[in-house]
């Protein structure tokens, strides 16, 4: 089984929702799974279950206890800001080498499908010199790039893809997560993207019936 980094073209694009859908799909098939959200902004200690890490734990069939949260999301910050800003507000910083080391150890478990979910989009700063893109490249993991179907997503998706490829990050697939209420059709988004992403699988995730897309992505990433 494989390990993949789940990243996105921006924040609130559906990374956690899609990661949870993949985890539930693999569990329903009887597979061993693991998931991590090492860096988490906007975390409310009073309501851990509603956080991204809490959602991943629920998809794994585990509770959002302090010990479980520490195991999958050790860098948690309260402010809903970029990680560098959120860390600075608490007088903390993200040690990039420690983060990369944690990620490599997390995906070392054999016989499991493993997901590592990033924070925000591909180019979100982690500190003064590193972005999520650097984290992906240093971890050595291929990634699933989650995009939307809103107006403007074509440019955002191709820009994110170019940024990843510039550092040699492998891309398992681009998952186009249908944007609710968008004037741009999901099929039209994929049709326009297709000639610009030769050799990379495009997977449509339809909101009304996501099962087929999730199953296809699970086969590619698992």
Neighbours of 133 (CB within 10 A): 22
Give the contacts of 213 (CB within 8 A, at least 6 positions apart).
175, 203, 204, 205, 206
Please answer whether residues 36 and 115 qualify as being in contact, where contact means their C-beta atoms are separated by less than 8 angstroms.
yes
DSSP state of 150: S
Query: Would residue 37 show up in a list of annotated catalytic residues for this protein?
Result: yes
Q: Which residues share a beta bridge with 33?
A: 113
Please answer whether residues 84 and 119 qualify as being in contact, where contact means their C-beta atoms are separated by less than 8 angstroms.
no
- What angle do the packed helices 15-28 and 52-59 form, to 10 degrees? 10
- For the chain, list the strands marked E by DSSP: 3-8, 33-36, 39-40, 75-76, 113-117, 143-148, 171-177, 201-205
Of the residues 15, 25, 37, 133, only one is catalytic, namely 37
Catalytic residues: 37
């Amino acid at each position: 089984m494989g390990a993949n980094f789940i990243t996105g073209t921006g924040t609130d694009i559906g990374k956690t929702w899609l990661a949870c859908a993949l985890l539930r799909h693999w569990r329903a098939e009887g597979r061993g799974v693991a998931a991590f959200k090492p860096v988490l902004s906007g975390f409310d200690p009073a309501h851990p279950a509603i956080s991204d890490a809490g959602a991943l734990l629920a998809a794994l069939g585990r509770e959002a206890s302090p010990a479980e949260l520490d195991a999958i999301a050790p860098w948690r910050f309260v402010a809903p800001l970029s990680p560098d800003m959120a860390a600075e507000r608490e007088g903390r910083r993200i040690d990039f080498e420690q983060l990369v080391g944690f990620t490599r150890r997390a995906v070392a478990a054999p016989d499991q499908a493993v997901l590592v979910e990033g924070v925000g989009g591909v180019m979100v700063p982690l500190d003064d010199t590193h972005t999520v893109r650097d984290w992906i490249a240093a971890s050595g993991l291929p990634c699933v790039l989650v995009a939307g179907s809103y107006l403007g997503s074509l440019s955002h998706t191709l820009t994110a893809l170019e940024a990843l490829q510039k550092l040699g990050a492998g891309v398992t697939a681009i998952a186009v997560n249908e944007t609710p209420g968008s004037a741009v059709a999901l099929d039209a988004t994929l049709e326009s993207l297709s000639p610009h992403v030769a050799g990379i699988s495009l997977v449509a995730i339809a909101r009304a019936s996501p099962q087929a897309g999730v199953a296809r992505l699970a086969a590619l990433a698992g």
